[in-house]
Amino acid sequence: MKILVQSTGLDIVPGIISELKTHQPDWQYIAWPSDEPCDYVVGWKPPAELFARQPALKAVINYGAGVDAILAMNAVPAHMPIIRLEDAGMAQQMAEYAIYGVIHHHRNMRIYHAQQRDVHWEQHEDRGNVRRPTVGVMGLGEMGGAVATRLAAFGYSVRGWSRSKHEIENVLTFAGHDALPTFLSGCDVLISILPLTESTRGILNATTLAQLPRGAFLVNAGRGGHLVDADVVAALNSGQLGGALLDVFHEEPLPKDHGYWSHPNVIVTPHIAATTPIKDACAQIVAKITALSRNEMVSGIVDPKVGY
């Protein structure tokens, strides 16, 4: 079996190939670009040219959880399944990132960081002394489900929102577009871990942000396209949003002159909420390709019509 390995950005291809070899030494691994006919491609944002030059491919394994970029390229032939990574060690990282955001807000850390810069000692009433914040999670899939469960175990009151109804212990769940205003109205901290689709693009806008309690804190680890940036900045400036922890942006790297960099109530991180851990990812990729080659059921098949 021949596996084509491709990536965009950091040159992680040699590392992926050597890790795949440890799991399945009998297969042949070929780094893109190559015209040698391959059976499967493991890739991140593969170029359209790859599919034109590799007509024998049977499936694409997306080297990540989000498939918005590969779907937006419109280059994968309609008959070819796209299979994404599921958790693969990312859900734990996502939960850590989310908990960091919640604690930053809940324990007044922005104020203490500013006070330290001013060499100023002053204790503030902890937000949780009045009422422990309620945390809302948008998207209850591999990432969001794990985040909601772990936040509940941490003692937060947690609610979650998804397309279809989910049952998660100790989490109040909501489903569908009509339930969104009710869900948002109880979120002191809102964590978005949605996939970017035609239904979720721009979902965090002036209307939805106004449905949050005043002073709510926003964590966005889904995709930058979920935010209407001008509306987020307006909500931050008016105090409707008390602050934001943002990991993903319309344009990455975030342009140097973007207002988020210098906004006093915004923390910017460079798309690191959950990075693909090579060992877990390669173990999962080999298992998925093995199952595909035996015509067995494989999970994580993307539905291009819904976009995730």
Does residue number 144 form part of the binding site for ligand OXD (CB under 6 A)?
no
Residue with tokens 């207002």: 259
40: β partners: 3, 59
Written as six digits, the tokens of 83 are 């299979």
Other CB atoms within a 10 A radius of the CB of residue 69 amount to 15
Cα separation, 116 vs 130, in Å, equals 25
Does residue number 141 form part of the binding site for ligand OXD (CB under 6 A)?
no
Nearer to ligand NDP, 2 or 271 (CB): 271
Cα separation, 184 vs 235, in Å, equals 15
Contact code string over 275-304 relative to ligand OXD, x by CB under 6 A: -x----------------------------
Active site residue 223: yes
Does residue number 66 form part of the binding site for ligand OXD (CB under 6 A)?
yes
Does residue number 64 form part of the binding site for ligand OXD (CB under 6 A)?
yes
Are the C-beta atoms of 140 and 161 separated by less than 8 Å?
yes
Does residue number 95 form part of the binding site for ligand OXD (CB under 6 A)?
no
Q: If we measure between CA atoms, which residue out of 42, 131, 146 comes closest to residue 91?
A: 146
Give the active site residue among 84, 104, 159, 223: 223
Nearest distance from C-beta of residue 227 to ligand NDP, angstroms: 13
104 three-state secondary structure: helix
Does residue number 46 form part of the binding site for ligand OXD (CB under 6 A)?
no
Q: Contacts with ligand OXD in 247-276 (CB under 6 A)?
A: 276
136: β partners: 159, 190
Binding-site size, ligand OXD (CB under 6 A): 4
Cα separation, 307 vs 197, in Å, equals 5
Active site residue 250: no
Nearer to ligand OXD, 61 or 235 (CB): 61
Nearer to ligand NDP, 202 or 215 (CB): 202
Residues that bind ligand NDP (CB under 6 A): 65-66, 90, 139-144, 162-164, 193-197, 199-200, 221-223, 247-248, 271, 273-274, 308
Are the C-beta atoms of 275 and 93 separated by less than 8 Å?
yes
- Residue 58 contacts which entry, ligand OXD, ligand NDP, none (Cβ below 5-8 A, type-dependent): none
Cα separation, 219 vs 267, in Å, equals 9
Binding site for ligand OXD (CB under 6 A): 64-66, 276
Catalytic residues: 223, 271
